[in-house]
Amino acid sequence: MSQSATPELQTSRLPTALVNQDPSVAASDARKRKQLSRLFFWLCVAIASISVIVLAVLLISIGVQGHSRLSADLIANSHSELEPETSGMRPAIIGSLFVCGVCGLVALPLGIGTAIFLEEFKPTSKLLRGLHGFIQLNIANLAGVPSIVFGLLGLTVFVYMFNVFGLIQVNKPGGWEWFGAKHYYQVLSLEPGQTILIPQSDLDKPTIKIEGPVEAVDADGNRFEVRTWDRKSGPKPADKATRMRTVKQGAVGGSYSQRSWYYFRLPFGKSFLAAGLTLSLVILPVIIIAAQEALRSVPPSLREASLGLGATQWQTTRDVSLPAALPGIMTGAILALGRAIGEAAPVLVVLGAAIAKNSGPQNLMDSVVTMPVLIFNWAGRPQAVYQEVAAAAIIVLLIVLLALNSVAIYVRNKVQSY
């Protein structure tokens, strides 16, 4: 009796419009929903196809324009004003890798650590929860700030450091030099083409005039006494070793600095270190947000099980949450670093538009040329040859970007398999 009454009871609870619905109207509505669904599907396909077609047209256009300049010279040579046909981008490739290396070394641990703190160690008090929400809101807003703003911030903070340590001036030691630099006066000896290095005691004195014997250093750092020679005293010394340690009476020497690869000073000036730190500011919000989303995707049951077994919050984060979220975190990091290697505006603000450099950085405070800046310079020139090498440089930039992304994806998959 009760089993036969159950369907009637359920039917009575349905809305009247559904119970008394005309079958033909229901079929018509179902057909309309299917048509809308099919229309939406094809709309998505059309939008995706347009994006792919535009991308393909751009790639084909760049390939047609720049394929003739894809040669070994483009990779091995540096920029040349006299011979643009043989201009290359070797210093720019090295410079971009150094800048992105600094950017990744700073932004990845800082961004992932911030995401872990904000997501896994949320405060419980009302005041700290408000502060947590304020920080979260600012990070979300920073992700949408134009990169040129970060470039101006990096110029103020990293390049000049608010002028706290003094300005960096051309050919003059500036700021606060910590280590890695030796300053000398460079004076011509009597031996043609040979110079003598005299230790510079007063950094504010740019030149020195040799009026008598002074102490100098040789190429091995050994100290010796420099002799002076005057025409009135007789002919020049005949011995080559003596001529190499003798200068003319009254010879003037200019300041000269030897810098090791670990040369470090404050402020950073227009160095690749300042450019890398500025780019790290650009991608830091993206990494934080991507890492937070990856941590949120970890099922809460995993954390609850770990905490239920007696693990601490840090142990749960280290052994449960972080390994589960690592693929998502690395995906966000790959996208962020891909953005960093193609950024031109903040690098232009920090390093300037100079491209006349024949090598990569020689020390931590050295400037570099990056691929986006070089492409920006070449693309702005009216000569057809520069338009072609700019297109070829874009292809090289894409290849480098794909290579870096491939390595990162490979590392992510290897980590995920453990």
CA atoms within 13 A on the CB side of 262: 3
Cis peptide before 146 (omega within 30 of 0): no
Does residue 285 contact residue 110 with C-beta atoms inside 8 Å? no
228 and 142 in one domain? no
Q: Is residue 7 in some structural domain?
A: no
Mean pLDDT of the chain: 86
- The sign one gets for the Cα dihedral 385, 390, 393, 395 is negative
List, for residues 28-54, the tens digit of each pLDDT value: 888 999 999 999 999 999 999 999 999
Is the CB of residue 117 less than 8 Å from the CB of residue 292? no
Domain boundary, last residue among 259, 286, 301:
259
Same domain assignment for residues 129 and 274: yes
Say yes or no: 220 and 275 in one domain: no
Domain that holds residue 202: 181-259
Angle at 103 between CA 102 and CA 104, to 5 degrees: 95
Count how many domains the chain has: 3
CB hemisphere CA count around 222 (13 angstroms): 3
pLDDT digits (tens, 9 = 90+) for 282-338: 999 999 999 999 999 999 999 999 999 999 999 999 999 998 898 888 888 888 888
pLDDT digits (tens, 9 = 90+) for 2-23: 444 455 555 556 667 666 777 7
Among 259, 278, 310, identify where a domain stops: 259
- Read off the pLDDT of each residue in 204-213 and give the average, rounded to a whole number: 85
Query: For 11, which DSSP code?
Result: H
| Rounded mean pLDDT, 126-154 | 90
Same domain? For 223 and 97 the reply is no
Instruction: Evaluate if residue 347 carries a pLDDT over 60.
Output: yes
Indicate the residue among 67, 83, 116 that finishes a domain.
67
Q: Are residues 209 and 120 in the same domain?
A: no
Give the pLDDT score at 236.
Answer: 81
pLDDT, mean of residues 177-203: 86
Looking at the structure, tell me whether residues 402 and 280 fall in a common domain.
yes
In this structure, is residue 386 part of a structural domain? Answer: yes
Same-domain check for residues 54 and 93 = no
280 and 142 within one domain: yes
Q: Let me know whether 146 and 220 are in one domain.
A: no
